[in-house]
Amino acid sequence: MGVALHELGHSLGLDHSEDSSAVMWPWFNKAKTALRQDGISGIQSLYGVGSAPWKPMTSYAIKIAGSGGQLFQLQADGCVYRKVDTAPFWELTKEDSRTKNILSFAGNLFTLRTNGDIMRWSGVPLHMVLIDSNPTNVGITGADTDLCLRHTTGAIWRHRWTPGDWEQIDTRTNSVQIAAGGEHLYQLLSNSDILEYTKPGWKKIDFDDSSQGTAEIVAPDNQLYKRRHMGDIWVWVNKPNDWECIESNQDIMSIVAGGEKYLFQVRNNGAILRWLSATGRFWRKLETAPNCMQVVIMEDGTLYYLGRGGYIFRMAKKVM
């Protein structure tokens, strides 16, 4: 109990304490099973006094994913769990040490194995359906009702749910990321070019030959955003190479899209800010998520983050 409480303290942002009676004292003592004033003061200095902005959900996750009101977590041993409403609150969905990534969109769960297998959860615990097996599979994303995947060769394929029904839609060798929003599919190339899939081909909508380059792209609500390596965030205004800068901050760690209307930025200090384009075009700070590694936003505005140490937290108030 004492070890678990000590590690939870680290995940919340606490350092070791110089008080030998404190749970955060660096040396193990099995008698320390309760949080003392030293730890309480530390938590309050980080989060303030009053109702906690984050509700911890004890776990040991390395990745989280969610959609359709369902939250999933992947643990280091390859086990995938689904959040449920009854104790112990996590239901084993799949146990496979080869699982290295999970994706959830439109209420579906997909897993990617180290051997390139892509599995779809049937909705029944421990039952997954194989939908592709290729050792070059490296990335998966969802576009509208389609599943799209990227090979290590750069090739991009689209699946339409009929067994064996895969359509190759690009053969480029320098694709590094694919992103989907609504009916739109985009890809980022290693030279920072961004392309949009226009059926049956691809159209270049951005090229960036500067030293900064594009680090990542996201596409909520049929809108495309990019983050450059120096921290700039840009929104595409639907004309080739026509972008508008909406933020510039070198502390930005990542940008996150969720549902059909959410865009967030996560900073190195854990601050999470939401982009409000429909009510004045500005960023609103939500909460600070210490040691944040990943953020997931549900369609109903429920926000989760994964902290270092594998703990999952839910924001007490939904994002409106």
pLDDT digits (tens, 9 = 90+) for 211-234: 679 999 999 877 899 999 999 999
Residues 302 and 181 in one domain: yes
Q: Residue 51 pLDDT > 90, yes or no?
A: no
Residue 189 sits in a domain whose CATH number is: 2.130.10.30
Residue 74 forms part of a structural domain: no
Q: Which of 7, 91, 216, 299 is catalytic?
A: 7
Residue 78 forms part of a structural domain: no
216 in active site = no
| Residue whose entry in the numeric block shows the structure tokens 């390139």 | 116
One-letter amino acid at 244 equals E
Q: What is the pTM of this model?
A: 0.79
Strand 214-218 to 303-307 pairing:
unpaired
Mean pLDDT for 76-98 is 90
Which structural domain, as residue segments, surrounds residue 240? 110-117+128-315
Q: Into how many domains does the chain fold?
A: 2
156 and 170 in contact (C-beta within 8 Å)?
A: yes
Q: Residue 144 pLDDT > 70, yes or no?
A: no
Partners of 147 in the beta sheet?
142, 159
Phi, psi angle pair for 90, to nearest 5°: -130, 130
Q: Determine if residue 159 is labeled as part of a ligand binding site.
A: no
Residue 298 forms part of a structural domain: yes
Partners of 139 in the beta sheet?
150
Q: What are 14's two structure tokens?
A: 């606490």
The pLDDT confidence band at residue 175, using thresholds 50, 70 and 90, is very high
Q: Determine if residue 320 is labeled as part of a ligand binding site.
A: no
Residue 53 forms part of a structural domain: no
Residues 36 and 151 in one domain: no
The burial class, CB within 10 Å (0-12 / 13-18 / 19+), for 227 is: buried
For residues 104 and 115, give the distance between their C-alpha atoms in angstroms, rounded to a whole number. 20
The pLDDT confidence band at residue 34, using thresholds 50, 70 and 90, is low
Residue 213 forms part of a structural domain: yes
Q: What are 135's two structure tokens?
A: 């050792």
Q: 24: which DSSP letter?
A: T
Q: Determine if residue 127 is labeled as part of a ligand binding site.
A: no
Residues 160 and 274 in one domain: yes
Residue 276 forms part of a structural domain: yes
Q: Determine if residue 16 is labeled as part of a ligand binding site.
A: yes
Q: Where does 191-270 show beta strands of DSSP type E?
A: 194-197, 202-206, 214-218, 225-228, 232-239, 242-248, 252-258, 262-267
Q: 204: which DSSP letter?
A: E
